[in-house]
Chains A and B, each alone.
Chain A
Amino acid sequence: MLHTRSSLLLPLCFALGLTALLSLVSLASGPVTHNWQMLWQAITGEQAAASMIIWQLRLPRMLLTIAIGALLALAGALMQGLFRNPLADPAIIGISGGSAAGAALAMAGLSLLPAWPWLETLGVPLMAFVGGISATLLVYRLATRSDTGTSVVMLLLAGIAISAISGALISLLSYLSDDQTLRQLSLWQMGTLSRHSWGQVQLAWGACAVIAALSYKHRRTLDVLLLGEAEARYSGVDVQALKRQLILCCAFAVAIAVAITGLIGFVGLVVPHILRLMLGPGHQRLLPLSALGGACLLLFADLIARSIVAPAQLPIGVVTALIGAPFFLYLLLRQRQHLS
Chain B
Amino acid sequence: MQRDTLTNAAISLDQIELTMAGKTIVEACQLQFHAGQHCALLGPNGAGKSSLIRLIGGELQAKSGSVAIHGRAQQDWSLPELSRHMAILPQRSQLNFHFSVSEVVGLGLLHSTLSLKQQRQLIRERLQVVDMWQLRERSYPQLSGGEQQRVHYARVTAQLASVPESKRILLLDEATSSLDLSHRQMLMEDANRIASEGGCVVSVVHDLNLAARYCQRLVLLAPPKVIADGNAKQVLSKENIAKAFDYPATIIEHSDSQQPIVL
Write the residues of chain A forming the contact surface with B, with a CB cutoff of 8 angstroms: 1-3, 5, 84, 86, 147, 220-221, 223-224, 226-228, 230-231, 233-238, 276, 280-282
A-B contact pairs, 14 of them (CB 8 A): A3-B98, A3-B100, A3-B139, A86-B97, A223-B99, A226-B95, A226-B107, A227-B93, A227-B94, A227-B95, A231-B88, A233-B57, A235-B110, A280-B103
Residue ID in chain B nearest A228 by CB atoms? B94
A235 and B159 contacting across the interface, CB-CB below 8 Å: yes
A2-B98, A280-B99 known; A236 vs B83 contact (CB < 8 Å): yes
| A235 pairs with B108, CB closer than 8 A | yes
Beta-carbon contacts under 8 Å, B73-87 to A: 79-84, 86-87
Q: A301–B183 Cα gap in the complex (Å)?
A: 53
Expressed in whole angstroms, the minimum distance between the Cβ of B39 and any Cβ of chain A is 19
CB closest chain-A residue, reference B138:
A1
Q: Which of B61, B84, B99, B156 has the most CB of A within 10 A?
A: B99
> Which A residues are in CB contact (< 8 Å) with B58?
233
A147 to B18, CA, bound (A): 14
User: Given contacts A1-B137, A2-B139, A147-B61, is CB(A223)–CB(B83) below 8 Å?
Assistant: no
The dominant DSSP class at the B interface is: mixed
Chain B interfacial residues counted at CB < 8 A? 32
Task: Give the residue of B79, B81, B94 whose beta carbon is less than 8 angstroms from that of A237.
Answer: B79
B208 to chain A, nearest CB (A): 27
Residues of B within 8 A of A (CB): 54, 57-59, 61, 79-84, 86-88, 90, 93-100, 103, 107-108, 110-111, 137, 139, 156, 159
| Contact yes or no, B57 A230, CB < 8 A | yes
Q: Is the CB of B90 within 8 A of A276?
A: no
Least CB distance, B140 to chain A, in whole angstroms: 10
B97/A226 in contact, CB under 8 A: yes
B88 cross-chain contacts in A, Cβ below 8 A: 231, 234
A226 to B, closest residue via Cβ: B97
Q: Are A84 and B94 touching (Cβ within 8 A)? A: yes
Interface hub of A226, A230, A234 (most chain B Cβ within 10 A): A234
Give the complex CA separation of A196 and B57 in angstroms.
Answer: 52
| Chain A neighbourhood of B159, CB < 8 A | 235
CB distance from A102 to the nearest CB of B (A): 34
Contacts A2-B139, A147-B61, A280-B100 given; indicate if A233 touches B79 (C-beta within 8 A): yes
